[in-house]
Amino acid sequence: MHMGWDVRGTRRRSVVLGAAVALAVLAGCSWGTPDAARPAATPSATPTPEPLTAAVRTDVAPATVVAGDAPAVALATSVALLAAAPVVVLAPLDDVAASLTAASAAVALGAPVLPTAAGADVATELARLGTTHALVVGDPGTDLQLPGVTLVPVPAGADGAVLARATGHRFGEPTPVAPGQEQAVVATLVGPEPAVLLAAGADAAGGGPDAGTSSPTAGPTGGDATTSTSAEDPTALPPTGPVVATGVLALTDGSPALAATATLRALGVGLLDVPGGDPRSTSTVVQAVAQAAPTAVLAYGETFGTPERLASRVATARTGVELPGGGQLVFPSVPEQPGKKYVALYGTPGSSALGVLGEQDVPSTIVRAEQHAAPYRDLTTDTVVPAVEIIATIASSGAEADGSYSRKRPVEDLRPLVEAAGAAGQYVVLDLQPGRQDFVTQAQLYAELLALPHVGLALDPEWRLAPDQVHLRQIGSVGIDEVNATAAWLAQLTRERGLPQKMLVLHQFSLRMIGERERLDTSHDEIALLIHVDGQGSQPAKAGTWQALRAGAPPVHWGWKNFYDEDVPMLDPAQTYQVQPVPDLVTYQ
């Protein structure tokens, strides 16, 4: 279900519930109805009826995105999770005190919280749920027309004694809730004896000998509904039993309505704060999802996107596999969280002629990559990740056996450096210089390495030849359709393997190197696109290339290359980070 969300007022962020907390909530709830909370049976009394228990749907969708105002979100939560609920809690959701009382009662009862607001289609939902009894908290503000439903009123801010008489359950200590903390506190409610939540500064209502036996001011009436006010039967609701929505996890990019949060807690569902709406965003969120291992998620907020996209992201987060630098996003953009930048050595193992990467053995390359990255950490609050960009297919002067003008390095030749980089927490990019072959064909040759979570891909159009071209006689180029096809293949591989997001680097120092670049497909959620500006020479010339390539470019990240021998002069780290925008990837050749 995907509904529009009209955000009213200040949105307050829920606290992050880590996986351990969420699982403790799910596993530590010893639900039940304490006998002491029930009136003693007389010898002639009929046997205690079986508890009325809500039923969780057996067809809960793998991913549901819920958005809207408070009544809509409350109803959507009930629709998404529940098949039946003989007992519900009704409250005016614009009344904080009533909502807090309703939350405490709902967690004790194992019942959803639904709105009494005019216009909310409560009657339809109660009919679907087969509801026979409703605890009505506070003043509904209107006559409730709910035929066949017994209405049991309690005041907003009711104390534990009032709630115990109305629900038949025990409650914990009264807990004042500071303004702005309502969502956070409700999200931590747990049965079987939930705290009695009170709006800060409010006195608890009731507690006397007749507490809970009279209707609140302007109490619910109307239709064929009946209101239980009998002093001889202070336990107005029938016995209720616990229910747990097993395998369900709730996600929020801010704060769902209080009523929805209460329903989630009543069903034993943990609530996880996901800044930015992407469960791959941070290590904390990824590990929480992995530990919870949900079979279904409810996500509250429009930033989560479509249910299909959310389901794919959750499937990736469930693996718990992270990228160097943490999380599963190449370039995370999360409020109040550090992003990522990369500093890489460029070349191919065993060849000093093609870049600094090949000037030393594998262990020394890993050390040198870290040494290049280290100075950048003092220049940014982002996480700086060391990296290696390995030329996997090398442009050659001859045709090679297959006529490609591209020499392929065997996977096993590259594996030692790839695996050593992964073990050291460094990122790897495989660079393709395909000659007369296409990029997709060459990328597929390295699928085994690209299936590793810390390995991305780079396309080098300078070395992409037409059928009648040879290297060094002209600058190569590639059409956008071939680039998009390669991106689609890499995205599919990433999605099918449940891998973290992958970096896809497009090398460029001339506009003609990538034809129709404006049609670059940036829609793949599985990859992070970066245009790497490879200009060399004087710094004014490099700056001009940088500006020319950025003009009119599609929305991508940007990389800068420092050449030891060709730049005049080569920028030091502080000077490199004076380039605007600050490069997300800096490579050294």
All structural domains of the chain with their residue ranges: 19-40+48-319, 341-588
Of 253, 246, 308, nearest to 279 by C-alpha is 253
Q: Return the CATH architecture of domain 341-588.
A: Alpha-Beta Barrel (3.20)
Neighbours of 340 (CB within 10 A): 23
The pLDDT score that the predictor gives to residue 439 is: 98
Counting Cβ atoms within 10 Å, is residue 364 exposed (0-12), middle (13-18) or buried (19+)? exposed
SS3 state at 465 = coil
Query: Could you tell me which residues come within 8 angstroms of residue 120 by beta carbon, excluding any fewer than 6 positions away?
Result: 71, 72, 74, 75, 114
Q: 378 with 334: CB under 8 angstroms? A: no
- The CA distance from 111 to 517, in Å, is 55
Distances in Å between the alpha carbon of 174 and those of 111, 163, 171? 20, 12, 9
Distance in angstroms (rounded) separating the CA atoms of residues 501 and 448: 16
In this structure, what token pair is assigned to residue 430?
């495989």
Residue whose structure tokens are 């769902």: 256
**Which amino acid is residue 290, in one-letter code?**
A
**Parallel, antiparallel or unpaired: strands 248-252 and 296-300:** parallel
pLDDT of res. 47: 62
182 membership: H or E segment, kind and range: helix 182-186
| Region of residue 3 (left: phi > 0; alpha: psi -120 to 50; beta: else) | beta
Residues 417, 365 contacting (CB under 8 angstroms): yes
Are 275 and 253 contacting, i.e. CB atoms less than 8 angstroms apart? yes
What is the spatial distance between Cα 529 and Cα 330, in angstroms, rounded to a whole number? 10
C-alpha span between 129 and 142 (Å, rounded) = 22
**What secondary structure letter does DSSP report for 435?**
B
From first to last of its 589 residues, the chain has per-residue pLDDT tens of 333 333 233 333 333 333 333 333 333 333 333 333 344 444 445 566 788 999 999 999 999 999 999 999 999 999 999 999 999 999 999 999 999 999 999 999 999 999 997 666 899 999 999 999 999 999 988 777 888 999 999 999 999 999 999 999 999 999 999 999 999 999 999 999 999 999 987 777 765 433 333 333 333 333 344 444 333 344 479 999 999 999 999 999 987 789 999 999 999 999 999 989 999 999 999 999 999 999 999 999 989 999 999 999 999 999 999 999 999 999 999 888 899 999 999 999 999 989 999 999 999 999 999 999 999 999 999 999 999 999 999 999 888 889 899 999 999 999 999 999 999 999 999 999 999 999 999 999 999 999 999 999 999 999 999 888 888 788 999 999 999 999 999 999 999 999 999 999 999 999 999 999 999 999 999 999 999 999 999 999 999 999 999 999 999 999 999 999 999 999 999 999 999 999 999 999 9
Q: How many CB atoms lie within 10 A of CB 529?
A: 20
* Cβ-based neighbour number of residue 348 at 10 Å: 24
Alpha carbon 159 to its chain centroid, in Å, reads 37
Place of tokens 């914990």: 172
Q: What is the rounded distance in angstroms from the CA atom of residue 547 to the CA atom of residue 539?
A: 12
Torsion angle, alpha carbons of 165, 170, 172, 177, to 10: -50
- Taking only Cα atoms into account, the Rg of the chain, rounded to an integer number of angstroms, comes to 31
How many residues make up the chain in this entry?
589
Is the preceding omega at residue 581 within 30 degrees of 0, hence cis?
Answer: yes
N- to C-terminal Cα separation, the chain = 51
Q: Could you identify the residue written with the tokens 């205690």?
A: 48
- Map residue 579 onto helix, strand or coil: coil
How far, rounded to the nearest angstrom, does the alpha carbon of residue 461 sit from its chain's CA centroid? 35
Provide DSSP, 123-146: HHHHHHHT--EEEEES--SS----
- Six token digits for residue 40: 């003693």
Q: Are 493 and 455 in contact (CB under 8 A)?
A: no
Q: How far is CA 39 from the centre of its chain?
A: 46
DSSP 516-574: TGGG-----TTEEEEEEE---SBHHHHHHHHHHHHTT--S-EEEEEE-TTTSBSPPPHH
Please spell the DSSP secondary structure of 308-330, one letter per residue.
Answer: HHHHHHHHHHHH----TTSSS-S
Environment class of residue 440 by beta-carbon count within 10 Å: exposed (0-12), middle (13-18) or buried (19+)? middle
d(C-alpha 180, C-alpha 337), whole Å: 22
**Residue-level pLDDT at 156:** 96
Beta bridge partners, 298, equal 64, 250
* Omega cis (within 30) before 332: no
**Contact (CB, 8 A) for 270 and 26:** yes
Report how far apart, in Å, the C-alpha atoms of 442 and of each of 457, 460, 475, 490 are: 11, 12, 19, 12
The pLDDT score that the predictor gives to residue 99 is 97
Among the listed residues 265, 245, 262, the one whose alpha carbon sits nearest the alpha carbon of residue 54: 245
Q: Cα separation of 227 and 211, whole Å? A: 15
Question: pTM of the entire structure?
Answer: 0.84
